[in-house]
Amino acid sequence: MFFDDVKSRRSVRTFDGKGLTAEVIEDLENYSKTTTNPYNIPITYTFLDAKEHGLSSPVLSGERCYVTAKIKKEKNADVAYGYSFEDFLMYAVSKNLGTVWIGGTMPRDKFEKASNLAEDEIMPCISPLGVPAEKMGVKEVLMRKGVKADSRFDFSDLFFKDSFDTPLSENDAKNIGIYSALEAVRFAPSAVNKQPWRAVVTESAIHFFEKKDRGYDNGVYDLQKVDVGIAMYHFERECKENGVNVSFTLSNPNISLPENTEYIASYTLV
Ligand SMILES: Cc1cc2nc3c(=O)[nH]c(=O)nc-3n(C[C@H](O)[C@H](O)[C@H](O)COP(=O)(O)O)c2cc1C
């Protein structure tokens, strides 16, 4: 079940050192071709052998294979990117593989070159793919402590009713059938565990917003928009699993916004 995978998933940075079989990689490659996003922006994946391309990351150990993802530069490409790449990474998680979104702690030039990144494309992130080691490395344990990786904001800090003034109660969310979908958002991964996604729920729609922190938008793409795309994937997938019909739409409700908050997209309840 998707929700169980969301709850049990964690970023994996220590791998068993054995790599993946050609069969497993082929299955992942096949799945990668099926990922889509609500903006209909195509995304392409490259599977890279660490040794062959001389690739590594200072936060990882024991990984032998990476996946990188590229998307055409255009409006909302970063949101679309988060949505599609998370679809792929959650598939890997469902196969008991370890993954971690990496947008900063890597030699970016090398990964971009190995992926043949073109001028009109962006490649915000990569992930290792492999079997998790039995024990986390010391570096990994420290890193998780540093970003409080095991904690998340409370439901009432993230989700609101009609405006940003009133928190959405868990009961209200249950009544409209979106409680576990919002919980799937709450447990999603995000850059430096900043959890920048917010949602305002009205009678007919769930509106997603980005609460921006400094230092994540480089003018070409915004890693926190990637985070919101990840959250939207979790939301939509969990709604689907529960038979709750939602439809993606861009319809800014024009409500008054807290500081540094930007409208991203909505789902109407159908
Ligand atoms: C867009 C994005 C970029 C990230 N970049 C990095 C990174 O550069 N290095 C890293 O070690 N972890 C990175 N992470 C992983 C987060 O630190 C991690 O998801 C967060 O701390 C929550 O921990 P969890 O995934 O184990 O639940 C990134 C996550 C996301 C979503």
- Residue 162 and residue 201: Cα distance in Å, rounded? 6
- CB of 35 shorter than 6 A to ligand 1: no
- CB of 105 shorter than 6 A to ligand 1: yes
Domains of the chain: 2-140 (3.40.109.10), 155-269 (3.40.109.30)
| Helix or strand holding residue 111 (H, E) | helix 108-114
Atom of ligand 1 nearest to the CA of 105: 8
The pLDDT tens digits along the chain (270 residues) read: 999 999 999 999 999 999 999 999 999 999 999 999 999 999 999 999 999 999 999 999 999 999 999 999 999 999 999 999 999 999 999 999 999 999 999 999 999 999 999 999 999 999 999 999 999 999 999 999 999 999 999 999 999 999 999 999 999 999 999 999 999 999 999 999 999 999 999 999 999 999 999 999 999 999 999 999 999 999 999 999 999 999 999 999 999 999 999 999 999 998
* Cβ–Cβ < 8 Å for 124, 103: yes
CA dihedral in degrees (154, 156, 158, 163; nearest 10)? Answer: -170
* Helices 223-241, 179-186: crossing angle, 10 deg rounding: 150
Q: Which of 102, 141, 186 for mutating ligand 1's site (highest number of atoms within 8 Å of CB)?
A: 102
Which residues make Cβ contacts (< 8 Å) with residue 80, sequence separation at least 6?
Answer: 37, 38, 39, 41, 43, 71, 229
- CB of 86 shorter than 6 A to ligand 1: no
CA of 135 to the centre of ligand 1 (A): 19
Q: What is the pTM of this model?
A: 0.98
CA of 85 to the centre of ligand 1 (A): 13
